[in-house]
Amino acid sequence: MSDIDYAARLALVQAAINAILAGKMKSYELEGQRVTYLDMPALRAEEQRLITLKNRAAGTRSAFKRGVMS
């Protein structure tokens, strides 16, 4: 099992995304780095990566299942 708390990291990334999109802040500090609207593609990619890792760690299966042909 991983020592990384993917849910907590995901919450941080989503808080940054929400704060920037809501226009509440022009920049947001995330784990010691300042991110802005220009960083949105990287934030979205990190969000998706963390969702995948969180689901994998929780044993949640993908919406797509491999079919078995007989």
Inter-CA distances, 24 with 7, 14, 18, 21, 67, Å: 23, 14, 9, 8, 46
Residue 40's Cβ-side half-sphere holds a number of Cα atoms within 13 Å equal to 10
Residue bearing the bigger pLDDT, 16 or 69: 16
Please tell me the predicted confidence (pLDDT) of residue 1.
45
pLDDT at 60 over 70: no
Q: What is the pLDDT of residues 10-45, one digit of tens each?
A: 999 999 999 999 987 788 888 888 998 899 999 999
pLDDT at 65 over 60: no
Give how far the C-alpha of residue 43 lies from the chain's centroid of Cα atoms, to the nearest Å.
7
Nearest-angstrom CA–CA distance, 52 and 22: 25
